[in-house]
Structure 1
Amino acid sequence: MNSTHTTGDLLAVAAAHALPVVRGIPEDRLAAPTPCAEYDVRDLMNHLFHVVVQFQELAAKRNADFGGATPDRLGRGADWRERFAAETEKLVTAWSAPGADEGRTGAMDMPARTVGAMVLLDLTVHAWDLARATGQEYAAGAGAGTGEVVGALRAAVAELAPTARSMGVFGEPVPVPAGATEFERLLAETGRDPYAH
């Protein structure tokens, strides 16, 4: 990750792309399938919500809790979209704090910047998954800082892919044409088909 951009900087950009998608999810699409075969929209949204909350702990070098069932945060009232937005703001703040990118964190004792790249990847790629599942556009190429986010994520995926594929987190890479965008290449490297509908 480029040292001139903190994880918090990059997460702020990713959040600006993700939140319009989350706010645009219709209630009648919560059972729709997503590009993540094991998740429908509700399950994927609950997964992403859980990630956003738990990675705040990791930014502060505290233990995260990914054991047991993922909480159903969508079942706690109709305001779940705004609760997600509030938790995402807390995530950006947590990873913008002095020292968040330094040292090591998490049960696997990984470099903090690598852990930060993991939540950045989830917030970016799962927002695309949710957009695709609910008939929305994901504005991947728009806005200041987007190129930095995609560049940081492509570097992180190159580092994480062998382990992630062995654990079933990423699928096998999908071929893309020579003219593919950097974001399309990122999706393909995680096993997603950027052109499937």
Structure 2
Amino acid sequence: MTTMQTDPRPLFRAALDRVADLIEGTAPDRFDAPTPCPEFDVNSLIGHIVGTVDRGRVIGEGGDPLTVPDIVTDSEDWIATLRAAADRYWTVWDDDAMLDTPVTAPWGTFPGRAAILIALNEALVHGWDLAVATGQSAEADPELAAAALGIMQVALPAEPRGGPIPFGAVVESAADAGPTERLANWSGRVSAPWR
């Protein structure tokens, strides 16, 4: 099955469940901690993940995702906020026709399944960021992460990167890196200081 025949929705659901588990496992004193994504601390990283989900809903609706904040900042219960954003997302993306419907995001127009693949990568890589920043297990389910890595190695080529392609250069993975760390490295994330 090729990348553009894959239904990425089950993978994205699993990735969102993983993020919810990581939020639940975050100690209250870790919300101000730095993360491997230098522009975010733990709290703003979680808010960014929620914002990404909500922007994905707007993309599926044919709206302008830039009308949705990149970082949600007003939550007292991040798990409930994430789940509410996911519920809104799935009202759009549970429709099978959306997989092949052209959608437009700031970086181009492409089939809906590609938008879900981008969201999957965001959830798993930022989940990895959240896990290592909060001292939790950094590896998602190996089958989930390996599937996402295989898809992203096709959907997100090693070159070009930067500019309109908002990913850093591929980082060489450690010999013992698991598939989630390898996905983070493929997405340009340096993992050495966080191992």
TM-score (norm 1): 0.80
The equivalent residue for 1:58 is 59
Residue 176 to residue 150, structure 1, CA distance change in 2 (3 Å): closer
Q: Which moved more, 1:147-156 or 1:14-23?
A: 147-156
Q: Secondary structure at the match of 2:18?
A: helix
Amino acid at match of 1:35: P
The aligned runs of 1:144-159 (5 Å cut-off) are: 145-158=144-157
Q: Aligned residue for 1:185?
A: 182
**CA distance change for structure 1 residues 67 and 57 in 2, over 3 Å: closer, same or farther?**
closer
Deviations 1:123-179 (CA, angstroms, capped at 9, x unpaired): 11111111111111133244x6443233223322227x525x224732222222455
Q: 1:79 to 1:196 in 2, by over 3 A?
A: same
Alignment of 1:1-197 (within 5 A): 1=3, 3=5, 5-60=6-61, 62-67=62-67, 70=70, 72-73=72-73, 75-76=74-75, 78-92=76-90, 94-107=92-105, 108-142=108-142, 145-158=144-157, 162-163=160-161, 165-167=162-164, 169-178=166-175, 180-197=177-194
Contact persistence 1:14–1:149 (CA under 8 A) = no
Distance in 2 of aligned mates of 1:151 and 1:188: 13
The more displaced of 116-125 and 150-159 is 150-159
Which region of structure 1 is more displaced relative to structure 2, 36-45 or 86-95?
Answer: 86-95
Contact map agreement 2:49 2:71 (CA 8 A) in 1? no
- What is the rounded CA distance, in whole Å, between the counterparts of 2:100 and 2:68 in structure 1? 29
Contact 2:128-2:181 at 8 Å conserved across structures: no
Structure with more contact order per residue of length (Cα contacts < 8 Å, sep ≥ 6): 1
User: CA distance change for structure 1 residues 138 and 179 in 2, over 3 Å: closer, same or farther?
Assistant: closer
- Percent identical among aligned pairs is 26
Q: 1:145 to 1:125 in 2, by over 3 A?
A: closer
Indicate the RMSD between aligned Cα atoms, in angstroms: 2.6
Tell me if the contact between 2:4 and 2:114 (Cα under 8 Å) persists in the aligned partners: no
Secondary structure in 2 matching 1:32: coil
Q: Deviations over 1:58-107 (max 9, x none)?
A: 233x213325854543x34x223222123224434532312111131124
Structure 2: gaps of 5 or more residues: none
Query: Taking structure 1 as reference, are residues 85 and 138 closer, same or farther at Cα in structure 2, changes over 3 Å only?
Result: farther
Question: Residues of 1 paired with 2:90 and 2:124: CA distance?
Answer: 13
Aligned partners of 1:88, 1:68: CA distance in 2, in Å? 14
Provide TM-score, normalisation by structure 2: 0.81
Aligned positions, number: 190
